[in-house]
Amino acid sequence: GENVEQHPSTLSVQEGDSAVIKCTYSDSASNYFPWYKQELGKRPQLIIDIRSNVGEKKDQRIAVTLNKTAKHFSLHITETQPEDSAVYFCAASTGGFKTIFGAGTRLFVKA
Amino acid sequence: DVKVTQSSRYLVKRTGEKVFLECVQDMDHENMFWYRQDPGLGLRLIYFSYDVKMKEKGDIPEGYSVSREKKERFSLILESASTNQTSMYLCASSRGQGRDTIYFGEGSWLTVV
């Protein structure tokens, strides 16, 4: 069935460094790729998304890239800050009702 | 601002008990979802509903059922709770299909002893 693999499961960076989280998806019909951030004890919230007709999207310190040929997409966070510490989930959707989530990456930003 | 409210944040139930998890959304969204969150497994879809009284199985429906009698309310039911159902349960809603933002509730921590 459809699957989204996410790596790494845990990532620790120094404040100010960059962080990269990578995901691969199995369903070539996937055309929408959102990223959700879940801070400790809080609900997951959408932080950025990308559609399949775009290769890259930026929003301040975060960016997503998509390689449809390789079925691979990534989240890039630059100049990390302690408040970036959270669990990040990638996801893929074909536009139907089901969105498939990755297993999550726990990001620690050390001050 | 969209609000998805789960009535119970923390529950402890005994094996074999019937458990109800309630969820209400206030944005007139068509779609509602129940996910289960476990470490290392991400968010797995249990059931979803795209309209009142309509329900569809997700990826892990076994041991669960749902009810949607009103548009704003979606309930998850564990007919006979088991210890392997100890988990965090997240309710969510969205306006349209897969390209619309999914709005999550704050989660219900269920422990089955």
Q: Yes or no: say if B52 and B71 are a contact pair by the CB < 8 Å rule.
A: yes
Helix (H/G/I), strand (E/B), else coil: B83: helix
Q: Yes or no: say if B44 and B35 are a contact pair by the CB < 8 Å rule.
A: yes
Q: Secondary structure of chain B: what % helix, strand, coil (to 5)?
A: 5, 50, 45
- How far are the Cα atoms of A53, B103, B109, B111 from residue B10, in angstroms, in the given order? 42, 20, 5, 8
| Burial class of A69 by CB neighbour count within 10 A (0 to 12, 13 to 18, 19+) | exposed
Q: Yes or no: say if A108 and A77 are a contact pair by the CB < 8 Å rule.
A: no
Provide the pLDDT for residue B24. Answer: 97
Q: Yes or no: say if B93 and B51 are a contact pair by the CB < 8 Å rule.
A: no
Q: What is the pLDDT of residues A5-20, one digit of tens each?
A: 999 999 999 999 999 9
Q: Hey, is the C-beta of A108 within 8 angstroms of any chain B C-beta?
A: no
* A-proximal residues of B, 50-89, CB under 8 Å: 50, 56, 58-59
Cβ atoms within 10 A of the Cβ of A40, count?
Answer: 8
pLDDT tops 80 at residue A1: no
Contact assignment for B98 to A99 by CB distance below 8 Å: yes
Which pLDDT band, with edges at 50, 70 and 90, does A52 fall under?
A: confident
Residue with tokens 């199995």: A26
The first and second tokens of residue B74, run together, are: 């979606």
Q: Hey, is the C-beta of B31 within 8 angstroms of any chain A C-beta?
A: yes
Provide the pLDDT for residue B81. Answer: 97
Cβ atoms within 10 A of the Cβ of B13, count?
Answer: 16
Strands A72-77 and A86-93: unpaired
CA–CA separation, A91 vs B43, rounded Å?
Answer: 10
Contacts of residue B101 in chain A, CB cutoff 8 Å? Answer: 34, 46, 49
CA–CA separation, B23 vs B8, rounded Å?
Answer: 9
* B-proximal residues of A, 27-66, CB under 8 Å: 31-32, 34, 36, 42-46, 49, 51
Helix (H/G/I), strand (E/B), else coil: A80: coil
Residue with tokens 């997409």: A73
Q: Yes or no: say if B68 and B75 are a contact pair by the CB < 8 Å rule.
A: yes
Q: Hey, is the C-beta of B91 within 8 angstroms of any chain A C-beta?
A: no
CA–CA separation, A66 vs B104, rounded Å?
Answer: 25
**pLDDT by position in tens, chain B (length 113):** 669 999 899 999 999 999 999 999 999 999 999 999 999 899 999 999 999 999 999 999 999 999 999 999 999 999 999 999 999 999 999 997 767 899 999 999 999 99
Residue of chain A whose Cα is closest to the Cα of B91: A43
Q: What is the pLDDT of residues A72-90, one digit of tens each?
A: 999 999 999 999 999 999 9
CA A44 to chain centre: 12
**Mean pLDDT of the A95-102 span:** 88
Using omega within 30 degrees of 0 as the cis cutoff, is the peptide bond preceding A44 cis? no
Provide the pLDDT for residue A98. Answer: 85
Question: What's the mean pLDDT when you consider all of chain A?
Answer: 95
Which pLDDT band, with edges at 50, 70 and 90, does A47 fall under?
A: very high
